């Protein structure tokens, strides 16, 4: 018996092998979570620049990678491409989900105001509702703590035409915040002041934990300052106030629209906007700030 080491068809074996399909393309949209196969670095898209994409992992570390193949999305290979610059069809919407008026301009500030507890609260409200507030002429100010609410309102002197809406953290039964809110409401009257709140210890918790790549916000013992405890649990720097500020900016950077926030906060902010805009029919002449 003879053996022909050279087949008459040199490609016969190869022709029976399955042809690998080219991975699908995926736009490197902001916050898309992908993994670089070569380095095992997993993170969300922060930005694209030229032919490069920057990823940030759950610990805040950032790395640049070339766009193209070599990425996994939900465990499957993809080819990352720069996001399309085309504008979405249909009506444009603000981050709060409202329809954005074409060429909308900030109106003169109303006499009424919305007060929030701190700087972080104000920055979050601005990021999601900023366009709406400017369109309505509503100014948001912060109290530097709910303990200052009574003194601020005595100075502001709200009326039914000069209303004040207040957003309070941790407004739950038995809390210090609830006791202060109840006392102020009794003194001021419901036509001039509306105090609402969310159940979270801090406004940080109103950001959905999934936006940070975690299943739930860590539980922090009462003996530990809450924000420091959160940073420590997540493996973030927390030695001083600069570290806490950096942590908040990392959290805030994950927020794009109202869909990234818990509904317990969304409803309360919308309620305050309705309250201060329905009771104020005149501008105070100061101009939007």
pLDDT digits (tens, 9 = 90+) for 68-96: 999 999 888 999 999 886 445 555 677 87
Give per-residue pLDDT as tens, 109-125.
889 999 999 999 999 99
Same structural domain, 266 and 167: yes
pLDDT of residue 16: 56
Cα distances from 222 to residues 10, 120, 151, 170, 205, in angstroms, run: 75, 21, 28, 14, 16
Whether residue 208 is predicted with pLDDT greater than 70 in this model: the reply is yes
Per the DSSP assignment, residues forming a β-bridge with 142 are 116
Q: Is residue 188 located within the same domain as residue 274?
A: yes
- The answer on 178 and 42 residing in a single domain is no
Tell me, what CATH number does 35's domain have? 2.30.30
pLDDT digits (tens, 9 = 90+) for 172-185: 898 899 999 999 88
Q: 145 and 265, same structural domain?
A: yes
Q: Indicate if the pLDDT at residue 189 is higher than 80.
A: no
Please tell me the number of Cα atoms within 13 Å of 215 on its side-chain side: 0
Alpha-carbon gap, residue 91 to 288, rounded angstroms: 26
pLDDT given at position 288 = 37
Range of the domain at 158: 113-207+255-278
Would the pTM count as exceeding 0.85? no
Q: Point out the domain boundary residue: 63, 81, 99.
A: 81
Is the Cβ–Cβ distance between 220 and 189 less than 8 Å?
A: no
Average confidence (pLDDT) over 129-137:
91
CA distance linking residue 217 with residue 242, whole number of Å: 21
Of the candidates 229, 181, 182, 180, which has an alpha carbon nearest to the alpha carbon of residue 201?
A: 229
Answer yes or no: do 124 and 30 share one domain. Answer: no
């Amino acid at each position: 018996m003879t053996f022909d080491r050279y087949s008459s068809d040199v490609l016969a074996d190869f022709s029976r092998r399955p042809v690998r399909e080219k991975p699908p393309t995926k736009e490197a949209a902001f916050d898309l979570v992908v993994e670089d196969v070569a380095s095992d670095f997993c993170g969300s898209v922060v930005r694209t620049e030229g032919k490069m994409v920057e990823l940030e992992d759950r610990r805040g570390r950032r790395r640049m990678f070339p766009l193209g193949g070599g990425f996994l999305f939900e465990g499957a290979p993809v080819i990352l491409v720069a996001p399309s610059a085309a504008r979405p069809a249909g009506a444009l919407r603000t981050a709060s989900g409202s329809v954005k008026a074409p060429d909308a301009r900030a109106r003169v500030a109303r006499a009424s105001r919305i007060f929030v507890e701190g700087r972080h609260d104000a920055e979050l409200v601005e990021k999601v509702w900023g366009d709406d507030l400017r369109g309505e002429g509503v100014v948001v100010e912060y109290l530097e703590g709910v303990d200052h609410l009574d003194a601020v309102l005595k100075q502001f002197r709200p009326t039914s035409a000069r209303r004040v809406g207040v957003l309070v953290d941790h407004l739950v039964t038995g809390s210090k915040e609830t006791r202060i809110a109840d006392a102020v409401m009794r003194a001021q009257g419901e036509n001039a002041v509306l105090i609402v709140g969310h159940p979270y210890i801090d406004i940080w918790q109103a950001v959905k934990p999934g936006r940070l790549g975690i299943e739930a916000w860590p539980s922090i013992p009462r003996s530990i300052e809450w924000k420091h405890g959160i940073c420590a649990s997540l493996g973030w720097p927390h030695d001083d106030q600069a570290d806490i500020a950096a942590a908040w900016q990392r959290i805030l950077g994950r927020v794009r629209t109202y869909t990234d926030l818990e509904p317990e906060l969304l409803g309360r902010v919308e309620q305050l906007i309705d309250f201060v805009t329905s009771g104020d029919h005149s501008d105070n002449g100061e101009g939007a700030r």
